[in-house]
A and B are shown apart, each in its own frame.
Chain A
Amino acid sequence: MPGNIVEVENLVKHYPPDVKAVDDISFSIGKGQIFSMLGPNGAGKTTTVEILEGLRNPTSGSARVLGADIFKDYSKIRGRVGTLPQNFEPFDLLKPTEAVQYWATLYDLKITKTEVNRLIESVNLTERKNLMSKKLSGGEKRKLGIALSLVNNPELLFLDEPTTGLDPKARRDLWNLITEIRDKGATIFLTTHYLDEAEKLANDVAIMHRGKIIAQGRPDELVNRYGSSTIIVLEGAGKAGFEKLGKMNIKASIDEMDGRNVLVPVKKHSDMKSMMATLANSDIAMEDIYTRRETLEDVFLNLIGKKMEDGVLKE
């Protein structure tokens, strides 16, 4: 479609003898969007990103990035694309200011000291700009990586699992930064195995599993399409509450995150009132009862049948 920044059709990457890292995927990314490719480790996310970055050759299929066929004309768009690879580590013995200046020259750009400082400031590293990079925290190192990827003011930014391994605060800081970059007009291709990250940041999500895209759309669309609409949470009901619901022939599950809450999915909105009344009037011991919408986490569980923790699928 005209205006799309990335267009991928029937992309395939096979490794002999029988590994299908990417298995016939198609998708497109509109201008100014955050597109999130979500999936567990080994799903094929990084292989897809690296094909689009010109770092791997596909087995078959086609891909256009910023209007150029990446298999023939990648050199024409190299300067318009920014990249943060997975597990990015900066050069330990360069200061952030030196690293930014160095990286700019590799793109044939002349960058002034003021511009370097502005870029460092945009990723909130001003107070740390004169430290050796090895002294930066994990989150600060990723921020420096993002600063390097922004040095050529890219129209398209690839961020391959930018928050993996970071603490919650550092992750939230990076989320704000990514949103700011999108708001300034860049298109972002973000891979992640954090469901909350994709839900929070992405305009469009593709869930990838075993080399295939098994679902794609806006986060709320995916929840509506693959979720059970609404969940009633019986806080603190525990295993005893779960067993009582079984005797009442009400379908329920125990929230695996804490093991205390019991979750009752309600498909139809019209059934909600009567179900709430039934549960409130039952003799199940609980601390509170409330409803919440399903999330991408529930969608993922429904689609794949397993939960995902730190990129690993769990039964």
Chain B
Amino acid sequence: MSRLISDMVNFGRQYLRSKVGLFFALIFPILLILVFGAIFTGGGNSKISLHIQDLDQGGMGEVFIRAMNNTSAFNIIEVPLSEDINQYIKNNSLTVALVVPKNFSADIGMRLALPNTTGLVNVTVYGDPSKTTYSMVLGATAAVSNGMNFGLAGTHPIVGAEGRSISATENFNYMDFYLPGIIGMTVMTNALFAMTANCAEYRQRNYFKLLATTNIKKWEWLVSKFIFYALLLSVALVLTYLVGRMAFNMQSVLTPMAFVLIAAGAFTFTAMGMLLGVFIKDPEGASAIANAVGFPMMFLSGSFFPLEIMPGYLQSIAGALPLTYLNNGLRDTMVYFNDGNALVNLGVVFVVGLIFFVLASRLMSWKEK
């Protein structure tokens, strides 16, 4: 036990003295939460610039544009009548623009006078369907059109929709859902990237050979790294949580299960780093392979984007990644307070970690063949 503790203390001492290690473990997740918080919780101009060309120049066109402006979602920018809209979009690299057609007011007047006339009087939304701004403008335009229709028909809507938080605490904001992803990503990057690099450095500098001449056992060395990362990442979790709570009034809760999940994540990704380290001879190779494994996992496991928006085949890949279960488990316990589901995710993370640990222990050799 004294060998294990001494190895952990001295490994930790070196890690904490390395400014890079300390930055990625403790500062980077805080920076992420601050940057994403600033983006997603207001505090800046979050309106979309909407270029509108009013070819109608009549009363209805004006009403429509005013209604769009009243949604508070857009900064309306008027497009001169002399401009060809397609060329204007191209010249200004716009992702979305709206055109109120010529005779918009007259056509609406005709529909009101002759109720049996079929066909809609449309405004046109130009844009790139792959961009979210296009979908947002299209949605807002449809809503404004509906509102105008009710007004013109002299009636008012009866059925509506009310937004409400799905979490147990209604005051949750976006950052509460985002925090578990940042924590999961921090656990993965620190444990996986650092351990892969450590293994390469230990091999290149002959530290493994040196260790093999002492009494320390391979499993003691592996376990000491896991305990260190579990402790370090728990501190990172607390710091990130406190900053998030103070800066963005986050309401998610640090549960005991969150700490257990952090420990399980540290175990899994430390073991995974060691397993990758078995096949790597130098630090440059370690960096390349850790990036090749870590970055796709970061994006596919729901750390930054909901899995639901991904195509089916990517969701299938996500289902095979341990970080997905760590993120889900953290959300289960911190946001939904569902420790039952968190326990299932914890089980998956732990079992995967155990497999990595056994493989790393068997395949890693401190001696030469």
Contact = CB atoms under 8 A, between A and B. Distances in A.
B85 to A, nearest CB: 62
A81 B216 CA distance: 15
Contact of B3 (A87, A92, A105): A105
Interface in A272-311: none
29 contacts: A50-B368, A53-B213, A54-B367, A56-B367, A57-B369, A78-B214, A78-B215, A81-B213, A83-B209, A83-B210, A83-B213, A85-B210, A91-B14, A92-B14, A93-B13, A93-B14, A93-B17, A93-B18, A98-B13, A103-B214, A105-B6, A106-B3, A106-B211, A106-B214, A106-B215, A106-B216, A108-B3, A132-B17, A148-B210
A85 B215 contact: no
Interface string B343-369: 000000000000000000000001111
Nearest to B208: A55
Interface in A82-126: 83, 85-89, 91-94, 98, 101-103, 105-108
Contacts of B212: 54-55
A96 B206 CA distance: 18
A106 to B, nearest CB: 4
Interface in B202-233: 205-207, 209-216
Main secondary structure on B side of the interface with A? helix
Contacts of B210: 83, 85, 148
A78 B17 CA distance: 31
A89 to B, nearest CB: 5
Contacts of A86: 206
A132 B19 CA distance: 14
B214 A107 contact: yes
B2 interface: yes
A183 B318 CA distance: 65
Nearest to A132: B17
A56 B215 contact: no
B93 interface: no
A94 B209 contact: no
B222 to A, nearest CB: 15
B213 A54 contact: yes
A86 B209 CA distance: 10
A38 to B, nearest CB: 22
A81 B10 CA distance: 23
Residue of A57, A86, A102, A106 with most partner-chain B CB within 10 A = A106
Interface string B9-35: 110011001100000000000000000
B252 to A, nearest CB: 36
A32 interface: no
A79 interface: yes
Contact of A108 (B2, B206, B209, B211): B2
Contacts of B216: 106
Contact of B368 (A55, A87, A89, A101): A55
Contact of B213 (A78, A93, A101): A78
A106 B7 contact: yes
Residue of B9, B17, B210, B212 with most partner-chain A CB within 10 A = B210
A101 B3 CA distance: 11
A86 B205 CA distance: 9
